[in-house]
Amino acid sequence: MARLLHEGWAMRHFVIGVLLIVAVALSGMLLAPPTVPAEDDCKPIEDFARGPIGEFPSAWKPRKDSGRDVYKVQDEGGKRFLRAMSQGLGVQAAREVQDWDLSAYPMLAWSWRPREFPKGADERQSSTNDSVLAVYMLVPYSRIAGPKAVKYIWSEKVPAGTHLESNNGLTQVRVLRSGGGGEWQQEKVNVLEDYRKYFGAGETPKPAGIAVLTDADDTKSSAAGDYADFKMCRK
């Protein structure tokens, strides 16, 4: 009998101890300030998740109607992307990006993959200025002359790091990659830094959006490549 009483007394004290521990933990949770999640380093611009497969993405606009047949949303193993297939054409597709503050998000990130380089292309010559892949950051400038742009290209021949320009200097070109291909590659560039450097500007521009171009009009050939996962980033 005494043994049973002792075990009962021990069990009551054990239960009381557990309840006290739980009460202290709960009080700490109630008194502690809520945790504020850190703002993401990157914000999505376009992942093509909402675009119907096999169609031109609805949030984008082609420079000419013929561009609707060049750029189409595709899926590969659950990964959505924009596939570009140009047959002797050179038509941009652009996407407006609202509330892009370059002072807070100066970086542009994306993935791309070349599939077919335009035959005989060399971006250093106007007569062969075609690229398998090109990504632009667009800044409003003139209704007649068009926007200012920093353009990033994947060239077959021109060495990475080369700086070029076109459109009477309104388009400043940086070669990010040269040769190779077949595999997805991720990129992240400081578009604010490049804009200031290439245009000799000190101000922080307000971007209108981004654009892509897979072209083969100058070489009268064909080109194909893929784009995915566009984001604006802090660093």
At residue 88, does pLDDT exceed 60? yes
pLDDT for 146: 92
Q: Which residues partner with 219 through β-bridges?
A: none
At residue 25, does pLDDT exceed 90? no
pLDDT for 206: 97
Q: What is the pLDDT of residues 155-173, one digit of tens each?
A: 999 999 999 999 999 999 9
Alpha carbon of residue 220 to chain centroid:
29
Mean pLDDT of the chain: 87
Query: Hey, what are 68's tokens?
Result: 């609707």
Confidence of residue 40 (pLDDT cuts 50, 70, 90): confident
At residue 7, does pLDDT exceed 50? no
Residue 194 Cα distances to 78, 168, 197, 227, angstroms: 34, 18, 5, 21
Taking phi over 0 as left and psi of -120 to 50 as alpha, with beta for the rest, 197 belongs to alpha
Q: What is the pLDDT of residues 91-130, one digit of tens each?
A: 999 999 999 999 999 999 999 999 999 999 999 999 999 9
At residue 9, does pLDDT exceed 70? no
202-208 long-range contacts, CB within 8 A, separation 24+ = 204/102, 204/103, 205/102, 205/139, 205/148, 206/100, 206/102, 206/139, 206/140, 207/97, 207/100, 207/102, 207/137, 207/138, 207/139, 208/96, 208/97, 208/138, 208/139, 208/140, 208/147
Other C-beta atoms closer than 10 Å to the C-beta of 212 total 24
The helix or strand, by DSSP H or E, that contains position 137, with its residue range, turns out to be strand 133-142
CA distance 152 to 226: 14
Q: Which residues partner with 56 through β-bridges?
A: none
Q: What are phi and psi of 85, to 5 degrees?
A: -135, 105
